[in-house]
Amino acid sequence: MRMLHGFSDNKYEFLSNFYACDTFYKNDIDPEGYVYKTAEHAFQAAKATSIEDMRYVADAHTPGDAKRRGRMIKLRPDWESIKDNVMLTILRSKFSDDQDMYSRMMATVSEYDAFCEDNWWHDNYWGDCHCPKCEKIFGRNRLGILLTQVRDELIHEYIGRTKDEQRTETPVSEKD
């Protein structure tokens, strides 16, 4: 298994949620949706219980600020049970709406089978921290797993489309 460990390399930083990329997200609080500056902005805004708080997070200048604002707002009571699904929805939007993101994601297929968000900031839920303190903690790598899932979905869509195109290209029936 060829595993990409961490997204700090220039070539792969687009996989990070901090990467600047217009990302659309809507939910029950904001049914019309909004285009966020990064996937991180969208994810942090999704924690909110009001549209005002969502916009407050959206207005953050950097993804780091968005993360801090996400900690300051009132958290949705169901957050723990929905957060993985929220992340998946956001990643789907990030990598299918933007042609550049889509192409770069698809280009990873020839190099890596899966992604792991190796980190040094003690995140063992979304990633896998490699600091001495976290050595014995199992990193769940939920972000890496969801990124790999989204890529698999895009590949299957691509294959499905290609097959449809081949079908429509087949010569018309011999009857006429």
Residues that bind Zn ion in the complex, under the rule CB under 5 A: 122, 129, 131, 133-134
Task: Between 101 and 143, name the residue whose CB sits nearer to Zn ion.
Answer: 143
- Helix (H) or strand (E) run with residue 3 in it: strand 3-5
Task: Between 26 and 130, name the residue whose CB sits nearer to Zn ion.
Answer: 130
Task: Between 134 and 154, name the residue whose CB sits nearer to Zn ion.
Answer: 134
Residue 124 C-beta: closest distance to Zn ion, Å: 7
Task: Between 61 and 133, name the residue whose CB sits nearer to Zn ion.
Answer: 133
Residue 2 C-beta: closest distance to Zn ion, Å: 25
- Helix (H) or strand (E) run with residue 129 in it: strand 128-129
User: Rounded CA gap, 45 and 17, in Å?
Assistant: 13
Residue 137 C-beta: closest distance to Zn ion, Å: 7
- Comparing every residue's Cβ against Zn ion, the nearest one is 134
In our burial notation (b when 16+ CB lie closer than 10 A, e otherwise), range 3-27 reads ebbbbeeeebebbbbbbebebebeb
Place of tokens 């996937």: 39
Residue 31 C-beta: closest distance to Zn ion, Å: 38
